[in-house]
A and B are shown apart, each in its own frame.
Chain A
Amino acid sequence: MSENLEQSFVAQLQANQNIIHKICRLYTAGEDAHKDLFQEITIQLWKAYPKFRGDSKFSTWTYRVALNTAITLYRKTKRTISTVDYENHQHFVKDVDYNYEEEEQIKLMYKAVYQLNDIEKALVFMYLEDKDYQEIAETLGISEVNARVKMNRIKGKLKKILNP
């Protein structure tokens, strides 16, 4: 592959890397696993890059490849990370000031989200990213109606986890 292609890919990925970080944050526990998944997603993006024609935005395309890698291709994810404390999930995140009133609630919410399965996490992730249901449905390959129904069920599940 030409050096030009490599250069433009690296520059675009560097600028959009937070998308990948966010997915790693949801799907892994600990710094090593985060780095590992980040690398695998980068490799998969690079492998798919020759087919990227620019008819969608680089970021939109990155969402799809990165989620597919995290859900489907990545091998090392442990499914039982729900017991890990929220603090451990703050890997790669710099110190950020919290409103202390809300901090506890947000902590509990993160904990609850980590207890969801891979598919549910994907829906929540796209919801948090402000994606509309059409894009969520297209990315996962399900119908829009079913994506909505599932998201409502996930909200119910999260509520149940928060108030058992």
Chain B
Amino acid sequence: MKELDLLKKDWQKNAASFQQISENEIYKMIHRKSSSIVKWILIISILEISFWTFSNLFINTDEVLRKMNHPEIVATLEFLTYFNYVVVLIFVYIFYKNYKTISTTIATKSLMSAILKTRKTVQYYVWYNLGMIVITAILSFFIAFVYNPDMEFLREKLALNGKAMFVTIGILFLVILGFFGLFWCFYRVIYGTLLRRLYANYKELKKIDF
């Protein structure tokens, strides 16, 4: 292509025509803070992991359950709590391992894939927590309904009225759906703005190298 060769000639001729930055300025630059997307992803990820881990610590249903006097339920929930700790540790480990592979000295495609992987780990952690919340909500509803003596009155009423039962379950379902929708939107906004360009470029590279 003739025009491209022309451009190349011009490009190489102008290679040294930039205003030079002094050593002093470079010294100043290397002590400034980076504003790269990796840094933002790290900050947001740590916030997310801490938020979900702490929120688990504060959701405390033990008191209510003890009152019901069903040791098998208490034992199940205790197991779930420990299971949760193990899951958190595994997630943090995978996150750390993925984060360590992010380096500007590797090939562009690998770098992008490392960033997306790190990001995905956190995303899975959030979905895991949302899933746990839904399971806990359904379980609590069920336990409260079946075992709680205070619910006896309601139970009898609902058993007589199939329509009311249907509406109750429907509302519960809608609440869960709304909850998920809210989080989905939230993530679309945060990571949409942060990763849109990265995704586009990654797709482009994958398209070249099918």
Contact = CB atoms under 8 A, between A and B. Distances in A.
| B interface: dominant SS | helix
A102 B197 CA distance: 35
B76 interface: no
Nearest to A52: B105
B168 interface: no
B42 to A, nearest CB: 12
B36 A14 contact: no
A75 B37 contact: yes
Chain B interface bracket (under 10, 10 to 19, 20 to 34, 35 or more) = 35 or more
B104 A48 contact: yes
Interface residues of A, number: 72
Interface string B125-144: 00000000000000000000
A17 B20 contact: yes
B18 A92 contact: yes
A140 B205 contact: yes
Interface of B: 1, 3-4, 6-8, 10-23, 26-27, 29-30, 32-38, 40, 103-112, 115, 194, 197-198, 200-201, 204-205, 208-210
A72 B4 contact: no
- Pairs A-B, 6 closest by C-beta atoms: A141-B107, A141-B109, A73-B36, A21-B18, A142-B209, A46-B30
Contacts of B1: 155, 158-159
Contacts of A92: 18-19
Contact of A64 (B11, B105, B115): B105
A143 B209 contact: yes
Nearest to A69: B104
